Homo-oligomer: A and B are copies of this chain.
Amino acid sequence: MTMTVFLGVAALAHAANTNETDAAQRAYAAVDPFIGTGGEGHTFPGAVVPFGMVQLSPDTQLKSRKEGYGWAAGYRYDDNTIFGFSHTHFSGTGHSDLGDVLTMPISGAVRLEPGDSAHPGSGYHSQFSHSDEKAEPGYYAVTLTDYDIRAELTAGDRIGVHRYTFPQGKPAHVLVDLRPSMYDYPGKVSWSRLRLRADGTLTGFRETRGWAPDRQLYFAMRFSQPASGHALHNIEGEIPYKGFAGPADKDPRQRAQVEGRAIVGVVDFPATTRELIVKVSISPVSEDSAIANLDSDMPGWDFDVVRSAARDAWMRALGAFDVDAPAPMRKSFYTAVYHTMMAPSLFMDADGRYRGPDNAVHHADGFRNYSTFSLWDTYRALHPLLTIVQPEQRTNDIVNSLLASRRYSPNGILPVWAFHGLETWCMIGYHAVPVIADAFMKGIRGYDTNAALDAMVASASYAPYGGLDGYMKLGYVPIDQEGEAASKTLEYAFDDWTIAQVATVLGKQDIAKAFDKRAGNWRNAYDAKTGFMRARKTDGLFREPFDPSASGYGSDYTEGNAWQYSWYVPQDTAGLIKAHGGDTKLVAMLDRVFDAKIDPKLFAHMEDITGLIGWYAHGNEPSHHVAYLYAYAGQPWRTQERLKQIMDTQYAPRTDGLAGNDDLGQMSAWFVFTAMGFYPVAPASNEYVIGRPFVDRMTLNLPNGKHFTISTDGLDATHPYIGAVTLNGKPLLRSVILHEQIMAGGKLHFSMQAQPNKSWATGNSQRPYSMSTL
């Protein structure tokens, strides 16, 4: 219990004063893990600790890759069948994988196939009812009605713990199916193994070729009671070599081990069994290391101790926010906070070993190693949020994890979209760069800063990646050499600007100069004639024909079109405005984005583009900063209007309350920032752009012990506009709050009113950071 007890004690120490403890308890109670499990959210309701390696959750469908998009997190609220509880899940992805070590309790007869959810009894699945279901951070419970089994789940850093209550008089079983993955059944498993050890520990591994190639996942599972029997099945059939197979190859009940590509194990318990605790650990290293994780994270058998430690950890994390708001807003807010603390996920055994992007085992020296980096999404708001509300060490660990990944990268670069240590090459950009730069610029520097700059420069200079060869030669990614070239040019240019910021601080003037120049490359994508960002060919001409509504893999853009991508110049909004011919013209273009009447069928082929308001697609990240751009154009009241429009239509405290994939917390981080009244449009600028608050009052209990209070007067549906803002009692004239102002503690007060204040923060010097005006 070392680790979990530690967290518990720390939580108590931190929340020393009663107010904070109360706030944390109220925060915990406000979270509804079911939000996002319907609709487009792709979240899961299962048990996880903050940033934990295990995400233990029910899977309600085992779909093929083609059909499975909606089941990226394994669970959909509209299902009524559970196939089992697997130990790894992504929270809110659009693509998927994981779903490791699917475990299902069974009473009575055992079926080895999952069966069809449309046909109850056709497999080992069970029906369930939401009325029997309960989910809170770190805990999930459900009744499997086909089996009359109550199943409860909780989790620690590297463990998932199941408590099954079996009906009396029927043989009890625990089935482990190594075949399923999210979302592919079967098909991703290249090899797997189950072994029942002499001491009753079930261990194994599986190797999958899914989203990440050749992922190795080891596990160990122990039961609180001795088994009465077992059977280890190779459903595909043994693959003997010229007739040789293991001992007892005819009888799964005598096997001590089975391996192959379609492995299912069943452990039997007497019919007298009532309560059974099953504790499961995972490891990227080995079965032995999984056993060590199990012993380290849960030496005993007390489910409630683990559950309580998970609750403490969540209370500590959620307790950073003390929010006064109507109940629906508090539910949305705290659930959003909850969803921002799932990833990056711990990826390190108890002894510090983990697997790197070279698929080799390494040791984390002096840091905790994290993986599951959905960086294209999370560099925008999730990582900036963590720099405020999580202990500084969390961000240092994340940066050190990114640098370690680069050290062991076969390509010598930072991760792009990595999980379980492995690179998937998903999405675009080198957005580990702004994550590091944002931390660095905020003074979070618990890592080798020169190595960090090296890694950033190397990642921005690796010619074979994503058209960088052409980008470095031409100043833009040429569309005839590389797809989605307009998006890439824009995002590279922003990332480059963040490198220049860091290099300047470190006194590396050559690097700063080179990357400052590259930061201006967005201009090479700008087509003055149409006002859109577009892709050029190697010959310098824009690709024709041009359709600003075209999106998709063949287009100039990544998961978007010209209407969505043409505003991505966070490092030089002044330049963007100037290019468009001034504030009014940019605002007019932005209004065309939001107010367009479009046919949603336009995006039928683009499953990630959801949450539409005109062309604005809140369900996907390229739109996330767009509403804030009005403030840069000197019209913050327009930002305030748009934010209300988005908050009213794109989020709700319902299972289908997320308008798009939560993307490992980026959708939720947008919500948290926006509800607080500010947003990090340009990470590494140390500025947050003032939007408008959506909570009546809140206190950020900062990890440095200080408190930053946000308060309002007049806030209600009829008072959507900011009249005035004060910081620590003095008027705040810019539509900006600085990171250091927040971290110093203090009071930010918003006076809300019915009509827009068209004179606040309209001047050039009152706008947020904007390169060309500096």
Interface residues of A (CB under 8 A from B): 95, 97, 190-191, 193, 195, 197-198, 207, 209-214, 239-248, 251, 254-257, 259-260, 286-288, 358-361, 410-412, 417, 423-427, 462-466, 553
Minimum distance in angstroms from A48 CB to a CB of chain B: 24
Minimum distance in angstroms from A397 CB to a CB of chain B: 24
Closest to A65 in B: B242
Tell me the complex Cα distance, A358–B203, Å. Answer: 11
26 CB < 8 A contacts A-B: A190-B190, A190-B191, A191-B213, A191-B214, A195-B358, A195-B410, A197-B410, A211-B241, A211-B242, A211-B244, A213-B239, A213-B259, A241-B424, A243-B553, A245-B425, A246-B411, A247-B411, A247-B425, A247-B465, A248-B464, A248-B465, A254-B463, A256-B410, A257-B410, A257-B411, A286-B360
CB contacts (< 8 Å) of A97 on chain B: these are 241
CB contacts (< 8 Å) of A240 on chain B: these are 425
Minimum distance in angstroms from A307 CB to a CB of chain B: 32
CB contacts (< 8 Å) of A257 on chain B: these are 410-411
Main secondary structure of the interface of A (DSSP, over half): loop
Closest to A243 in B: B553
A288→B360 contact, CB < 8 A: yes
B361→A286 contact, CB < 8 A: yes
Tell me the complex Cα distance, A193–B423, Å. Answer: 14
Q: Chain B CB within 10 Å — which of A247, A251, A426, A463 has the most? A: A247
Tell me the complex Cα distance, A287–B360, Å. Answer: 8
CB contacts (< 8 Å) of A197 on chain B: these are 410
Q: Chain B CB within 10 Å — which of A210, A259, A411, A466 has the most? A: A411
A95→B193 contact, CB < 8 A: no
Known contacts A95-B242, A464-B248; decide if A256 and B412 are in contact (CB<8 Å): yes
Please pick, from B207, B214, B255, B286, the residue contacting A464 in the complex, using a CB distance under 8 A.
B255
CB contacts (< 8 Å) of A243 on chain B: these are 553
Tell me the complex Cα distance, A286–B464, Å. Answer: 26
CB contacts (< 8 Å) of A245 on chain B: these are 425
Minimum distance in angstroms from A288 CB to a CB of chain B: 6
Tell me the complex Cα distance, A209–B411, Å. Answer: 29
A210→B256 contact, CB < 8 A: no
Tell me the complex Cα distance, A424–B244, Å. Answer: 7
Tell me the complex Cα distance, A239–B212, Å. Answer: 10
Tell me the complex Cα distance, A601–B244, Å. Answer: 25
Minimum distance in angstroms from A145 CB to a CB of chain B: 35
CB contacts (< 8 Å) of A207 on chain B: these are 190-191, 207
Minimum distance in angstroms from A527 CB to a CB of chain B: 26
Tell me the complex Cα distance, A424–B260, Å. Answer: 14
Please pick, from B244, B247, B412, B464, the residue contacting A251 in the complex, using a CB distance under 8 A.
B464
B209→A239 contact, CB < 8 A: yes
Across the A-B interface, give the 9 residue pairs with the lowest CB-CB distance, nearest first.
A248-B464, A257-B410, A247-B465, A254-B464, A247-B464, A244-B425, A211-B241, A244-B426, A190-B190
A214→B259 contact, CB < 8 A: yes
Closest to A94 in B: B242
Tell me the complex Cα distance, A553–B361, Å. Answer: 43
Q: Chain B CB within 10 Å — which of A95, A210, A213, A463 has the most? A: A213
CB contacts (< 8 Å) of A190 on chain B: these are 190-191, 207
Closest to A192 in B: B214
Closest to A251 in B: B464
Minimum distance in angstroms from A661 CB to a CB of chain B: 14
Please pick, from B210, B287, B411, B417, the residue contacting A358 in the complex, using a CB distance under 8 A.
B287
Closest to A359 in B: B193
Minimum distance in angstroms from A95 CB to a CB of chain B: 5
A198→B286 contact, CB < 8 A: no
Minimum distance in angstroms from A139 CB to a CB of chain B: 32
Known contacts A242-B95, A360-B286; decide if A247 and B462 are in contact (CB<8 Å): yes
Tell me the complex Cα distance, A257–B242, Å. Answer: 34
Tell me the complex Cα distance, A553–B426, Å. Answer: 51
Minimum distance in angstroms from A469 CB to a CB of chain B: 8
Minimum distance in angstroms from A276 CB to a CB of chain B: 24
Tell me the complex Cα distance, A255–B288, Å. Answer: 34
CB contacts (< 8 Å) of A425 on chain B: these are 240, 244-247
CB contacts (< 8 Å) of A463 on chain B: these are 254
Minimum distance in angstroms from A576 CB to a CB of chain B: 29
Tell me the complex Cα distance, A136–B213, Å. Answer: 43
Tell me the complex Cα distance, A7–B209, Å. Answer: 44
Closest to A462 in B: B247
Closest to A210 in B: B241
Taking A191-B213, A246-B423 as known contacts, 16 extra A-B pairs with beta carbons closer than 8 A to each other, sorted by chain A number, are A95-B242, A97-B241, A191-B207, A197-B410, A198-B412, A210-B241, A211-B241, A211-B242, A212-B241, A213-B239, A241-B424, A244-B424, A248-B464, A248-B465, A255-B464, A257-B411
Tell me the complex Cα distance, A214–B246, Å. Answer: 14
Closest to A357 in B: B257
CB contacts (< 8 Å) of A241 on chain B: these are 95, 97, 210-212, 424, 426
CB contacts (< 8 Å) of A286 on chain B: these are 360-361
Closest to A184 in B: B241
Minimum distance in angstroms from A454 CB to a CB of chain B: 13
Tell me the complex Cα distance, A410–B256, Å. Answer: 6
CB contacts (< 8 Å) of A288 on chain B: these are 360
Minimum distance in angstroms from A345 CB to a CB of chain B: 19
Q: Chain B CB within 10 Å — which of A207, A251, A412, A425 has the most? A: A425
CB contacts (< 8 Å) of A426 on chain B: these are 241-242, 244
